[in-house]
Structure 1
Amino acid sequence: MSFPSPLSVSHALRARPGGAVDARSDLTPGVYEGGLKVWECSLDLVALLHSTTGRALLGGLPEPPGGRSVLELGCGHALPGIAAYATLLECCAVPPRLELCDFNAETFPQAALPNLLQALPNADLSRVACFAGDWLGLPAGEHELVVASETTYSRESCEATALLLGRHLRPGGVALVAGKRHYFGVGGGSGLFLEEAGRRGLVEGRTWVMDDGRSNIREIIEVRKAQQN
């Protein structure tokens, strides 16, 4: 499935949920990719983006004349994308742009856009774009910040995440990828993602680890695209 033209905010708000999407299910490959569930790693990423460390990281991003741009891959409820957008609004001379993509168009009217409007009721919606469909068909464009959570759950998703970061991250930009160290039974995890990222010339930065000693270890990995000489 390829991406259609950008799904406008007004169109997304009028959309009606399709019968194939079931919020009670975590994942139905090729049909529903889990966008109606709030995944725990997305909350880790939100906490980082609102922290002093996160604010300093976002404040140091390159700022082109047209303003900074944030892309969230596999956004679902779009909590990390909204957190990044809100933080950048505080430190940008020009309001940032926010692009959200998810496999299922239903996630926009049911989750992402209501969350955005609740968190930022005065947001300039002309700076927000939504894309539904296979994320490998995401239109060309580079971003200073790319965020993603729980997109590294399988070998295929690790490859796709790394490929998209290589394609859509601006040189000098930053990607923050939140996920579990191991996804048991499906083969994904942080280590495999980093292998794929390295193959595409992405440079590993800091890693924030969440380990309570009882559940699966969660991590947020920073990767960068090297500046072009």
Structure 2
Amino acid sequence: MAFRFNFSIDENESSEPDTHGKMDLQLCSPKHKRESTEKSKQTADTVADSSPEVGTDKQQDETPSKKKFCLKAAKEHSIPENVNKILENKVMETVSDLYYINISGAEMTCLDGADEEGIVSQSVSSHSDLIPGIYEGGLKIWECTFDLIDYFSEAEIQFTNKTVLDLGCGAGLLGIVALRGKAEKVHFQDYNSTVIDKITLPNAVANCISEGSGDNRKTSKPPLKRPKKAEYVPDVLTKCRFFSGEWSEVSQLLLSSNKPFSKYDIILTSETIYNPDYYSALHDTLAQLLDKKGRVYLASKVHYFGVGGGIYLFEKFTEERNVFRTNIVKIIDKGLQRCIMEMAFKDSS
């Protein structure tokens, strides 16, 4: 289902697919994502020597170690006063009862000069969905995102009055689900500022539209009314904050900020453990930002070919750190095996 925002909501004649695998969006399997990494190895080798190496057989057998790599500075992205402008001329689609921006359209806009980081042109020229230290895949929607969304419903995860972080958010669908679940605060983080500005923010705004929102919204039918100006629920959007940058840099920004900050009750993250070189940064970020009684819900493939990461390797890494207890709460055997992991501090109840 696709329709265009231009201070109004238009609907295409096409019908929405019934399953995730047939959606008309750039939904990519983790295998494709990691195979593309192998294709981009030559490009990745041109990154500074401090950047993580990928695609070596040796690395797949190594225990993750804390390697030095270029730290991308953290930045908070402000929400424009005129939120209508964010959605102007944007083509939006729906999936799992959520709005999301059409990725192809966003990429075309970026190629026309709206991408200061140049990640889209580099991704296109290198035929890669992942360039370590430059672009970490946030312009795509990966299948583990939907595994986690399904799990929220199955396990009846409650977001009401919780503070939530969508870590490595990309499209931000996990955080948006929490937002619609009446979370008190939802923060979004992605490595790339382009992803936040061109994908995450528009998606969050689109899902804060009052017309057609709430329990009465139907996945197959976007709002039929076409207001001259979209109406928003301001108290919902003000619950959100948006950040770009490397994990440890974002953590430092949050913890040292003059703005009030309380640690997160729930941290959501999907397909962020594909590269073992990032495990230390991810683990430390979770340890620094999670409330002592909080929970992490992590979705991942069992193994990422060509990069060497995976759920069991990260589980072993976490056990060796002896900070969190982990529990694999769901295994998805369709296609490439995937898992949902729950994490909590060992000294929490």
1:125 aligns with 2:228: no
The CA deviation at 1:2 is 4.9
1:108 aligns with 2:196: yes
Matches within 5 A, 1:206-217: 206-212=328-334, 215-217=335-337
| Equivalent residue number for residue 21 of structure 1 | 119
Q: Where do 4+ consecutive residues of structure 1 move more than 6 Å? A: none
1:220 aligns with 2:314: no
1:106–1:226 CA distance, 2 compared to 1 (3 A)? same
CA distance in 1, matches of 2:307, 2:249: 24
In 2, are the aligned partners of 1:142 and 1:168 still within 8 Å (CA)?
yes
1:42–1:86 CA distance, 2 compared to 1 (3 A)? same
CA distance in 1, matches of 2:201, 2:288: 26
The CA deviation at 1:160 is 2.4
1:136 aligns with 2:248: yes
The CA deviation at 1:228 is 5.6
CA distance in 2, matches of 1:41, 1:112: 17
Which has more radius of gyration?
2
TM-score with structure 2 length normalisation?
A: 0.56
CA distance in 2, matches of 1:174, 1:145: 5
How many residue pairs are counted as aligned between the two chains?
212
Instruction: Report the residue type matching 1:42 in the other structure.
Output: T
Of 138, 148, 161 in structure 2, the residue corresponding to residue 35 of structure 1 is 138
The CA deviation at 1:27 is 0.7
1:4–1:159 CA distance, 2 compared to 1 (3 A)? closer
CA distance in 1, matches of 2:239, 2:207: 15
CA-to-aligned-CA distance 1:27-76 (integer Å, 9 cap, x gap): 11111111000011111112222x141x3x325xxx8xxx5210011111
CA distance in 1, matches of 2:188, 2:273: 18
CA distance in 2, matches of 1:10, 1:18: 18
In 2, are the aligned partners of 1:159 and 1:193 still within 8 Å (CA)?
no
How big is the alpha-carbon RMSD for the aligned residues of Structure 1 and Structure 2?
A: 2.5
Instruction: Report the residue type matching 2:158 in the other structure.
Output: L
1:114–1:4 CA distance, 2 compared to 1 (3 A)? same
| Equivalent residue number for residue 100 of structure 2 | none
CA distance in 1, matches of 2:202, 2:275: 29
SS of the residue 1:9 aligns to: coil
CA distance in 2, matches of 1:34, 1:26: 6
| Equivalent residue number for residue 155 of structure 1 | 276
1:202 aligns with 2:324: yes
In 1, are the aligned partners of 2:247 and 2:282 still within 8 Å (CA)?
no
Structure 2 residues without counterparts, runs of 5 or longer: 1-70, 88-109, 210-232, 256-261
In 2, are the aligned partners of 1:99 and 1:128 still within 8 Å (CA)?
yes
SS of the residue 1:124 aligns to: helix
Instruction: Report the residue type matching 2:137 in the other structure.
Output: G
CA distance in 2, matches of 1:193, 1:99: 24
Range moving further from structure 2, 196-205 or 31-40: 196-205
| Equivalent residue number for residue 295 of structure 2 | 174
Matches within 5 A, 1:184-195: 184-195=305-316
Structure 1 residues without counterparts, runs of 5 or longer: 90-94
1:76 aligns with 2:176: no
Range moving further from structure 2, 105-114 or 5-14: 5-14
CA-to-aligned-CA distance 1:173-219 (integer Å, 9 cap, x gap): 1100001001112110001211222214111134211102xx32111
1:126–1:200 CA distance, 2 compared to 1 (3 A)? farther
TM-score with structure 1 length normalisation?
A: 0.82
